[in-house]
Amino acid sequence: MNKIDFAKLRDEMVDRHIAGRGVHSPLVLDAMRIVPREVFLPENLREFAYEDAPLPIAEGQTISQPYIVALMTDALALEGGERVLEIGTGSGYAAAVLSRIARDVYTVERIGQLAEKAAAALADLGYANVHVLHADGTRGWTDHAPYDAIVVAAGGPEVPESLKAQLKIGGRLVIPVGVDRRVQELVRVTRVSGTQYKREDIADVRFVPLVGEEGWAPEAGGSVSP
């Protein structure tokens, strides 16, 4: 069997599905061209790494569609050197993309197995500026707040107040929000002042539910780990 040329597939994916669909930030495009998505997938799925689709990882979770990772990163309006909070580490892929732009990425995952695997994958790839915490992501990570930007890779019924409070003035929070556990609107919340926030709708999306104290309750039979 011929060896898969992942670098070539990665470039083609960025050209066709990311730049080709309107993401033009050089920082985002460069990060997407560099980070090896295949490394964050189970071995039996690596051949599909550069199809523009979400894929299963473990614990009923998914690695997000590359276009959505790029769209959400682009919506944060990063210029380089920021402190970013990610909620929902999952495989660690999106945190790796963020780490190519931000100074430090703090990422929170409620499922212990995923947090451990993601931390190991990120360390193996040398992403030393990504810090992983196993906890309830709806509460954020107060130790390193305030953040220049926050991105949430799961859909909540509303924007968690804890996350809004951890934004710097002028900071951006990108999160899927919806009354349905599986269908949301991707929104950007900008902190205008100590008490004021501006909200913008970006796109219709589908994410796994944001489970936690300020999100959805676990489904019957689901994991209740922090």
Active site residues: 64
**What are phi and psi for residue 48, nearest 5 degrees?**
-100, 10
Question: Which three-class secondary structure state does DSSP give residue 99?
Answer: helix
- The enclosing H or E element of 104 equals strand 104-109
CB of 191 closer than 8 Å to CB of 197: yes
CB of 99 closer than 8 Å to CB of 130: yes
* In 1-140, alpha helices (H): 6-13, 26-34, 66-75, 93-99, 112-124
Q: Of the candidates 51, 105, 101, which has an alpha carbon nearest to the alpha carbon of residue 80?
A: 101
Contacts of the segment 68-72: beta carbons below 8 A, 24+ positions apart: 68/205, 69/32, 69/93, 69/94, 69/97, 70/18, 70/23, 70/28, 70/29, 70/32, 70/97, 71/23, 71/186, 71/202, 71/203, 72/151, 72/153, 72/174, 72/186
User: How far apart (Å, rounded) are the C-alpha atoms in residues 37 and 63?
Assistant: 9
